[in-house]
Structure formats: structure tokens, C-alpha cells
Amino acid sequence: MNAVRGILAVAGFQLRRMLSPQRLVVAVAGAAFPAAVMLAARRIAGGLDRDFGVVLLYALVPEALCLLGLLVTMCPVVADELERGTWQHVVVRPGGRRSLLVGTFLAAVGWTAGVALLSLALTLFAAGLDDSPRLAGMFAVLVLLSCLGRAALFALPAVIVPKRALVASVGAAIVVEYLAGFLPAVVNQVTVSLRLRSLLVEWMGWRRNLPESLRLFVDDQPPVVQVAAVLVLTAVLLTAASLILAFRQFPPAEEA
Amino acid sequence: MISLHRATKLYGTVIGVNDLTVDLGPGAHGLLGPNGAGKTTLLGLVTGQLRPSMGRVTVFGERPFGNPRVLGRIGYCPAADLLEQQATPREWATYLVRLGGADSGTAVRAADRALERVGLGEAAHRPLKTLSKGMRQRAKLAAAIAHDPDLLVLDEPFIGLDPVARHDLVELVREWSRSRSLLVASHLLHEIEALDAGLAVILGGRLVASGTVEEIRGLIDTLPSEVRLAANRPRRLAEIACSSGLADSLRFEGDDGLVIGTRQPRPLAIALAAAAAREGIALATLHAADRSLEGVFDRLVQLHRGIGSARLERAKRLPAEADR
């Protein structure tokens, strides 16, 4: 119970930090950007092919926007505390390290998912696609899974190299998600991008008509397995980050 | 209460704390040392932020690193300024109490009590960025004591404060230490002295002295010191110093300078001043080694750096030279 309270305290505090006017402006701009791209694509193409629109929506919201949002909110989990001089206050509280990590994870997921869902609504409106409510539900799940998995992925560099977390996380996103994730090998099984792509293909009913060359980049397992895989991956990454943070020490000169 | 046994903390090849053994019982303790002496590292070990590279650290009989039972009984106020911008002191203190596992209502009440106690009740709802340094220091202190810890650990709590704020904070901490245990690290010695705390002096990551103020003064009394003066009749004052039985050695500097080696500089200085007045000797300067805590501290620093031992050797030689 105490652990849950600590985690919720951090999540609430971090969300309040994120609710600054500057951050809200950035969030609204970020949410509007995919809609603007979709509108531009519609105008340039003189209309929008449904499948192309869905792929563009997938690339813009669950991938690009979620990644950017999590880079801003999850990566500085330790670096921000060191810079603000609050690290020492937090880690001397019982369970402070774990609460800081998990609470920030929840806040980052909540904030990014909120912005992404707003963006999803705007972009779907801009795209003018058929059966938007069904697409909205489907993409909402993809957004949530993307946020969970990627936030946990970014937690690792954030605790291992806090002062280079942003660069390391961009590197991790490129190497793990967009390099290993597209390798037709066992390694892509432990990436979020494979699971999200596979869900998209499955839910859009594209699997039957998928060219043989593209079948290498999606997984054949049913959706429930894909969702479970993301949740397990999230739990493993977050546990690993929590264990690393539990033993992390910073010389006094590095603080503040 | 706090026990370090051969504790060493290394940061790569840099030594933060070096083979330090000390036991601090319940009550108030001051940790003295110049910048870079290892005070903050020692506090980091005590408050469970750091693990010793070698040796053992226990607080309340248990290792503090990652131990919620110990951490729940410690309140810590770091030296670094709080750069949290938007939060108010009330939000900050409430947050830290909730972080320890308290429910929201309990945390708010505890934060309010602590803010009242440090005299920040009226500014409790102002953003931290709008508060003065002294007020932010109080906010940090309130956050440290809000969960009612058994041990309060303060790192350089008086740094950057104006004299009034310093006085107020000293009074606050003194009041706290009457009922709970306290460990204060500082290089501002007069404030530590005002806290009536036991002392541990740390230099280069090593403990060089510990005990009460009086015990450390007693220690310093066993070390040679000096009285320096300039007068129109230094040889007469040298005679008086020798006849007083307080002088260990004599050395003349120029035509009017006299340096007297002694283990009791203050009584000797008083005796010389009285004699000068009685015999009409014009004293230009008279300087006795500082016996305040600051003076003691300076002497320990000198000894640690080898200056004192060189002077000790010289002092041993001087009586023989004076005899010749």
C-alpha cells in the first residue's frame, strides 16, 4: 500500500510539472502536427486512399508522436531530479527510487497517451476516412501499447546514462525499434514495433493480401499474444530499470 | 545510533571517505570540515544515498542503503538549493511525505505542521521560485522534518543565509535537537558551536578528532601554540614570559618582535598585557592563537596538512636554542 501511495504521489507531482503553460502549448502543437500532415497529404493527392491514410496515421501517431512525447517525458526521469536538486530529497525517502521511476513512467504514459489520443481524434477528422470510430478504437489501443512499451524502453537509458538519456534513447529507438524490429530474426520478437505492426495488419485485415516479402516483417500470432508480448516486455524493461536505479549512486559533485 | 566501521567510499580513483570509524550516539552532532573534506559523502552514506565501497555503515542498527525501515526514520536537508520552480513549500513537503507512503490527508496535515514549525506558514502557498534563499532553506527543512523523523541530517544548512535568517535557523535546529537526534555538517563553526553539539572533525575523508567542544579544546591544549607580539622592550617581556612558567620557547624577530611558544596562549597573553601596562611597555601588537572552535579547527587542519607537525618539531628545538 505504501509503495502504491508513493508511486501515485510521484505520478501526480510529475503530471503537475507537465501542466505548465509552455508544455501545454507544445503538447497542443504536437497533437495538431499529424493532423496538419494528413490534411496536406489529402490536398496534395486530391483525396486519400484508405490504406495509405491508415498507414500514414500509424506512422504519425503511435510511432512518431508517441516516441517524441516519451523522449520528452520519460528520458529525464533521473537527469531532471539531479538538475533540480531534488534527487537527494527523493532517494532518501523509503522506496523513493522505485516510486520515482514507476510514478514518472505512469505520468509519461498518461501524458503522452493523452496528447496522442487528442492527435488521433484530430488526424482522423482531417483524414475523413470511413469507419473512423472503429479506427479510433483500434488506434487507441496501439497508442496505449506504444506508450507503455516505449516508455519502459526509454527508462533503461534514463537510469543508465541519465545525463545522455535523450541521445541514448534516440539511439535505442533507432537501433532496437527500427533496426532490430525490422530484422526477420528472433531479435525482432522483443521489439514493440513488431507487435504494433502485426496488430495493425491483423486488425485491418491486410494479412491475407500481404505480399510474401512483407510477411517477414509481421508476426503471425493472434492479437492477444501481441498485446501480452508488449505488456511482458514493458514489465521486464521496467523491472530491469528499477533494479539498476536501486543501486545507482551519484557523487555529490554530480548532483545539482 | 550512527556507526561507521572502517568505512571507505571511492568514486573511481577519488576517495570521498577514507577508512573512517566513528560511533555517534543519540543527540546532536556537528560534522566539521573544509570544502571537499568528505562531509557530504559521509552524509550520503548515513542517509542511504551511497553505499560504502569498503567497511560498514549502520544507522539505528541497520544498513541504510535501500532500507525503508531506516530511511523512514531519517529526515535529510541537502546543501544544494532547491530549484523546483512551480511547487509551493506546502506541495513540496506534502509530496515528500506522501512519497514515504502516507495518505494524502495525513501528508497535508504533516506538511502544514512542519511549515508552521519553521515559520513558513504564511508563505506556504507561494511558488518556491518566488521565495528568498532563507525561505527556501526553511522549506527544505520543513520537508525534512514533516514526516517526524528520529534523526535529522542537515548539510550546510546555514550557507548563503543572511545573519537574521542564520540566527533563526540556528534557533530552530537547537529546538529540534532538544527532543530528537541531529547531525549537522558545516564549515561555519560558530553556528555549530551554538548548537551545543558533539563534534566530529573530518579532513581529507578522514576523521581527525571527535568529542565534545571541551574535549576537542582539551586535545588542542596538548598541542604547542604561539603568542606573537611587537613591543619597544621585547626582551623585558621575554623575561616576564619565562618567569610566568607559561612559555615553552622564545624567538626574537627583528628589533621589536617576539614569538613565544606556549601551550596556554590566552593566559600568557593576558599576563603579558598586564605586565606591559604595569611597567609602561608600549605594546604595538599582541596576538594569541585563537582558542575558539574556529581556532581549534584551524589547528587541526594545519596538523592534518603537516604544518602543525613541522611547527611541533620547531617548537621542540626552540628551548634548546634558547638555552644556548
> Which cell numbers hold the place of A170?
534516440
Q: Which of B99, B104, B137, B202 is the best mutation test for A, with the most CBs of A within 10 A? A: B99
Question: Where do the H-state alpha helices sit in A128-178?
Answer: 132-160, 165-172
Nearest residue of A to residue B9, measured between CA atoms: A251
Regarding whether B262 and B195 lie in a shared domain, the answer is no
Residue B302 has pLDDT above 80, yes or no: no
Q: What pLDDT shows up at residue B309?
A: 43
| Spatial CA neighbour of B297 closest among B187, B212, B198 | B187
Same domain, yes or no: B178 and B223: no
Query: Are the beta carbons of A196 and A145 closer than 8 angstroms?
Result: yes
Give the residue from B176, B211, B246 where a domain finishes.
B211
User: Of A85, A93, A251, which has the smallest distance from its Cβ to B96's Cβ?
Assistant: A93
As a whole number of angstroms, the distance between CA B266 and CA B235 comes to 20
Taking the Cβ of residue A128 and every Cβ of chain B, the question of whether any pair is shorter than 8 Å is answered with: no
Q: Which of B149, B181, B211 is the last residue of a domain?
A: B211
Pull the grid cell for residue B91: 506541495
Closest CA to B144 of B134, B154, B156: B154
Mean pLDDT confidence for B256-260: 91
Tell me which residue of A207, A221, A220, A16 sits closest to A103, measured CA to CA.
A16
Which of A83, A92, A246 is closest, CB to CB, to B74? A92
Q: Which of B178, B211, B244 is the last residue of a domain?
A: B211
pLDDT (tens digit per residue) in B61-100:
999 998 999 999 999 999 888 888 788 999 999 999 999 8
Residues B60 and B158 in one domain: yes
Rg (CA), chain B: 24
Asked if the C-beta of A243 comes within 8 angstroms of chain B's C-beta atoms, the answer is: no
Task: Spell out which chain B residues touch chain A, with contact meaning CB-CB distance below 8 angstroms.
Answer: 11, 14, 16, 40-41, 44, 47-51, 66, 68-69, 71-72, 74, 76, 78, 80-84, 86-87, 91, 95-96, 98-103, 107, 140, 143
Same-domain pairing of B104 and B138: yes
Both B180 and B253 in one domain: the answer is: no
State how many domains chain B has.
Answer: 2
CA–CA–CA angle B102, B108, B109 (5° rounding): 95
Residues of B in contact with A242 (CB under 8 A): none
Same domain, B200 and B243: no
Nearest chain A residue to B128, by CA: A84
The candidate with the shortest Cα–Cα distance to A189, out of A219, A154, A210, is A219
- Distances in Å between the Cα of B120 and the Cα atoms of A211, B90, B124, B135, B177 are 69, 9, 6, 7, 19
Question: What is the rounded CA–CA span in Å between residue B177 and residue A182?
Answer: 63
Whether pLDDT at B236 is above 80 = yes
One domain, residues B50 and B151? yes
Helix (H) or strand (E) holding B285, with range, is strand B283-288
Is residue B55 within 8 A of residue B5, CB to CB? The reply is yes
* CATH number of the domain residue B316 falls in: 3.30.70
Write the pLDDT tens digit of every residue in A211-256: 877 787 888 889 999 999 999 999 999 999 999 999 999 887 654 4
Q: Give which of A142, A171, A146 is closest to A157, Cα–Cα.
A: A171
User: Does residue B36 carry a pLDDT above 70?
Assistant: yes
Window 188-207 of A, Cβ < 8 Å to B:
none
Q: What is the CATH number of the domain that holds B54?
A: 3.40.50.300
Do B83 and B175 belong to one domain? Answer: yes
- List the domain range (segments joined by +) for residue B223: 219-323
> Between B307-323 and B293-304, two packed helices, what is the crossing angle to 10 degrees?
90
pLDDT of residue B1: 84
* Cell, residue B26: 543519540
Lowest average pLDDT, out of A135-139, A150-154, B243-247, goes to B243-247
Domain ranges of chain A: 2-249
Residues B154 and B276 in one domain: no
Residues B192 and B294 in one domain: no
Mean pLDDT of chain A: 90
B174, containing H or E segment: helix B163-177
